[in-house]
Amino acid sequence: MIKGNCLVGQSGGPTAVINASLEGIILEALRSEEIDHVYGAFNGLDGILQEKFVEFTNDDLEDLDLLITTPSAILGSVRYKLPEEDEDITVYEKIRDVFIKKHISYFFYIGGNDSMDTCHKIAQYLLRIEFPCQVIGIPKTIDNDMVETDHTPGYPSAAKFIATTISEIYQDIACYETGRVTFVEIMGRDAGWLTCSSYIPSTLGMAPDLIYVPEVPFKVDLFLEDVSRIYQKNKRVMIAVAEGIKDEAGVYFLQKRLYNNNDDFGHLQLGGVGMVLAEIVNKELKLPVRSIELNINQRCASHLLSYVDIKEAINVSIYGVRMALKGITDKAVIIKRISDEPYEIYYDLVSLDKVANLVKKIPLSWLNERKNGINDEYLKYIMPLIKGEVKVPYKNGLPQYYLLKNRQK
Amino acid sequence: MIKGNCLVGQSGGPTAVINASLEGIILEALRSEEIDHVYGAFNGLDGILQEKFVEFTNDDLEDLDLLITTPSAILGSVRYKLPEEDEDITVYEKIRDVFIKKHISYFFYIGGNDSMDTCHKIAQYLLRIEFPCQVIGIPKTIDNDMVETDHTPGYPSAAKFIATTISEIYQDIACYETGRVTFVEIMGRDAGWLTCSSYIPSTLGMAPDLIYVPEVPFKVDLFLEDVSRIYQKNKRVMIAVAEGIKDEAGVYFLQKRLYNNNDDFGHLQLGGVGMVLAEIVNKELKLPVRSIELNINQRCASHLLSYVDIKEAINVSIYGVRMALKGITDKAVIIKRISDEPYEIYYDLVSLDKVANLVKKIPLSWLNERKNGINDEYLKYIMPLIKGEVKVPYKNGLPQYYLLKNRQK
Express each pLDDT in A282-304 by its tens digit.
889 999 999 999 999 999 999 99
- pLDDT of residue B265 exceeding 70: no
The pLDDT value recorded for residue B263 is 43
pLDDT exceeds cutoff 90 at B271: no
Q: What is the ipTM of this complex?
A: 0.94
* Of A60, A63, A86, A143, catalytic: A143
Least confident piece of the model among B207-221, B252-266, B346-360: B252-266
Helix/strand/coil percentages in chain B, nearest 5 = 40, 20, 40
Query: How many angstroms separate the CA atoms of A199 and A187, rounded?
Result: 15
A:B CB pairs within 8 Å? 184
Q: Is A143 a catalytic residue?
A: yes
- pLDDT at site A60: 87
Amino acid identity of residue A192, one-letter, is G
Going by pLDDT thresholds of 50, 70 and 90, the confidence category of residue A266 is: very low
Q: Rounded to whole angstroms, how far apart are CA atoms B240 and B253?
A: 15
Q: What is the pLDDT of residue A255?
A: 63
Coil, helix or strand for B265? coil
pLDDT (average), residues A213-220: 95
pLDDT for position B181 = 95
Quickly state the pLDDT bin for B405 (edges 50, 70, 90): low
Interface of A with B in 308-337 (CB under 8 A): none
Which one of A171, A234, A260, A340 makes the best mutation probe of the B interface by having the most chain B beta carbons within 10 Å? A171
Inform me whether the C-beta atom of residue A78 falls under 8 Å from chain B C-beta atoms. Answer: yes
Which residue of B175, B261, B299 is in closest CB contact with A77? B175
Percentages helix, strand, coil for chain A (3-state, rounded to 5) are 40, 20, 40
Report which secondary-structure segment, H or E, holds B322.
Answer: helix B307-325
Least trusted range by pLDDT, from A29-33, A176-180, B55-59, B289-293:
A176-180
Q: Which residues of A touch B164 (CB under 8 A)?
A: 303, 398-399
Distance CA A168, CA B303 (A): 9
Instruction: Find the residue in A nearest to B283 (Cα).
Output: A259
Split at pLDDT 50, 70, 90, the class of A79 is: confident
Banded model confidence at residue A403, pLDDT cuts 50, 70, 90: confident
Identify the pLDDT of residue B374: 98
- Would you call B389 and A387 a contact, using CB atoms and an 8 Å cutoff? no
Please report which residue ranges of B83-152 form alpha helices under DSSP H: 89-101, 113-128
**Pair A397, A58: CB distance under 8 Å:** no
Give the model's pLDDT for residue B408: 40
Write the pLDDT tens digit of every residue in A224-239. 999 999 999 999 999 9
In this model, does residue A176 exceed pLDDT 60?
Answer: yes
A72/B302 touch (CB, cutoff 8 Å), yes or no: no
Helix axes A18-31, A307-325, angle to 10 degrees: 40
Note whether A14 contacts B: Cβ–Cβ < 8 A.
Answer: yes
Report yes or no: B394 at the A interface, CB cutoff 8 Å.
yes
Q: Would the pLDDT of B238 be above 70?
A: yes
Residue A394 forms contact with B (CB below 8 Å): yes
What's residue A16's pLDDT? Answer: 95
Residues 6+ apart with CB under 8 A from A170: A201, A206, A207, A208, A238
Give the pLDDT of residue B266.
40
Report d(CA A122, CA A114) in Å as an integer.
Answer: 13
In this prediction, residue A283 carries a pLDDT of 85
pLDDT of A213 higher than 90: yes
Half-sphere exposure of B371 (CA within 13 A, CB side): 14
Say how far apart CA A118 and CA A82 lie, in whole Å.
Answer: 6
pLDDT (0 to 100) of residue A250 = 85
A280 vs B75 pLDDT, higher one: B75
Residue A142 has pLDDT above 80, yes or no: yes
User: Averaged over B286-302, what is the pLDDT?
Assistant: 93
> Are A18 and A66 spatial neighbours (Cβ–Cβ below 8 Å)?
no
Amino acid at B158: A
Whether the per-residue pLDDT at A355 is higher than 60: the answer is: yes
Q: How confident is the model at residue A263 (pLDDT cuts 50, 70, 90)?
A: very low
User: B175 in contact with A at a CB cutoff of 8 Å?
Assistant: yes
Q: What is the pLDDT of residues B85-97, one digit of tens each?
A: 999 999 999 999 9
pLDDT value of position A270: 43
- Among A139-143, A214-218, A225-229, B277-281, the range scoring the smallest mean pLDDT is B277-281
The Cα–Cα gap between B319 and B210 comes to 40
Q: What pLDDT, in 10s, does the model give residues B174-196?
A: 998 888 999 999 999 899 999 99
* Chain segment B83-138, per-residue pLDDT in tens: 999 999 999 999 999 999 999 999 999 999 999 999 999 999 999 999 999 999 99
pLDDT for A268 equals 39
Nearest to B282 by CA among A276, A254, A267, A261: A261
